[in-house]
């Protein structure tokens, strides 16, 4: 048995960044006291509220390396001896835009920043236009080994693009952590639960999907095991839940259902042009 306790946080982030930071620090402290090894926060952890357009996000945004939000989380991670996956609005590199990055950060249990991932797929769909306020990242962050397992990161809308999770799985990911702020809407909860399960099933890994709840968000934070069983569904309740990740379960599933080994990589290269070119579908 390779059991590792992890915590998943379902937040109803307010528009007050300091309030959300205090709540996050309290949860890290509580998780540490319960011997949790990894705590995962949702997208928009810094805040969300009315008037949350480009100017407000720019005012909230900080640097990953020396902004107060991440510095405080790093101190808490070290004090509580816990890995943390957090999200921030990150300042862009150009003075010519008010847009910011939607960024996930993996912090180790010694307070070190291990990985930074900037959301690559912006949610320009179903009446929303994230590209008006966010800058798209241009890199898929490689998975990183932690005491809980090998962790790959995605953010929300990324889950609709199976290429990304497969890349992370082939690079060794055992846990796919996907901070989200999934909007409510027609069929949206069905899409959410189906997609989270599908990413686990097709890659034989754990998907950990902390979500926002309240306002316009759907909740239903999930942890799904490598065979597609939902071992946690938080419904519409705000707070933190703790579940055990069993890496021996992952190894058993991958041995009995060897999807990554059964890939026909001898054929895929012949179609790489099709895979990477723009779709011809215009409507």
* Tokens at 266, concatenated: 């001898």
Of residues 74, 72, 67, 15, the one with CA closest to residue 45:
15
| Residue-level pLDDT at 85 | 98
Which helix (H) or strand (E) element contains residue 265?
A: helix 265-268
pLDDT per position as a tens digit, 41-55: 999 999 996 666 778
The DSSP symbol for 237 reads: -
| Residue-level pLDDT at 280 | 62
| Residue-level pLDDT at 37 | 98
| Residue-level pLDDT at 98 | 81
Asked if residue 281 is part of any domain, the answer here is: no
Asked if residue 283 is part of any domain, the answer here is: no
Asked if residue 53 is part of any domain, the answer here is: yes
CA 156 and chain centroid, separation? 7
Contact (Cβ atoms closer than 8 angstroms) between residue 208 and residue 244:
no
Asked if residue 83 is part of any domain, the answer here is: yes
| Residue-level pLDDT at 272 | 83
Token match 């992370």: residue? 168
Asked if residue 113 is part of any domain, the answer here is: yes
Give CA–CA dist 41/241, Å, rounded: 11
Asked if residue 147 is part of any domain, the answer here is: yes
Q: Which residues of the chain are modeled with pLDDT < 50?
A: none
CA distances from 23 to 180, 226, 255 (A): 18, 31, 41
Q: How many domains does the chain have?
A: 1
Asked if residue 125 is part of any domain, the answer here is: yes
| Residue-level pLDDT at 22 | 98
| Residue-level pLDDT at 95 | 72
pTM confidence score? 0.95
Domain that holds residue 130: 3-276
Q: What CATH number does the domain containing 31 carry?
A: 3.60.110.10
């Amino acid at each position: 048995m390779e059991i590792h306790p992890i915590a998943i946080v379902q937040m109803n982030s307010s528009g007050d960044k300091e309030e959300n930071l205090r709540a996050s620090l309290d949860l890290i402290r509580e998780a540490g006291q319960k011997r949790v090894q990894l705590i995962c926060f949702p997208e928009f952890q810094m805040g969300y509220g009315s008037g949350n357009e480009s100017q407000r996000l720019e005012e909230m945004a900080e640097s990953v390396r020396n902004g107060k939000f991440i510095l405080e989380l790093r101190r808490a991670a070290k004090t509580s001896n816990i890995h943390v996956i957090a999200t921030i609005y990150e300042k862009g590199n150009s003075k010519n835009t008010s847009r910011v990055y939607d960024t996930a950060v993996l912090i180790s249990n010694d307070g070190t920043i291990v990985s930074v991932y900037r959301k690559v797929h912006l949610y320009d769909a179903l009446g929303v236009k994230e590209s008006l306020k966010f800058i798209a990242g241009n890199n898929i962050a490689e998975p990183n080994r932690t005491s809980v397992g090998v962790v790959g990161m995605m953010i929300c809308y990324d889950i609709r693009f199976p290429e990304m999770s497969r890349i992370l799985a082939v690079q060794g990911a055992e846990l796919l952590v996907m901070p989200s702020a999934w909007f409510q809407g027609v069929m949206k909860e069905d899409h959410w639960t189906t997609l989270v399960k599908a990413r686990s099933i097709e890659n034989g890994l754990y998907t950990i999907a902390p979500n926002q709840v309240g306002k316009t968000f759907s909740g239903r934070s999930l942890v799904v095991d490598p065979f597609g069983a939902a071992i946690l569904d938080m419904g519409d309740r705000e707070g933190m839940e703790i579940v055990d990740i069993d890496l021996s379960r992952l190894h058993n599933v991958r041995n009995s259902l060897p999807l990554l080994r059964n890939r026909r990589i001898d054929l895929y290269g012949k179609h790489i042009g099709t895979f990477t070119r723009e779709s011809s579908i215009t409507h």
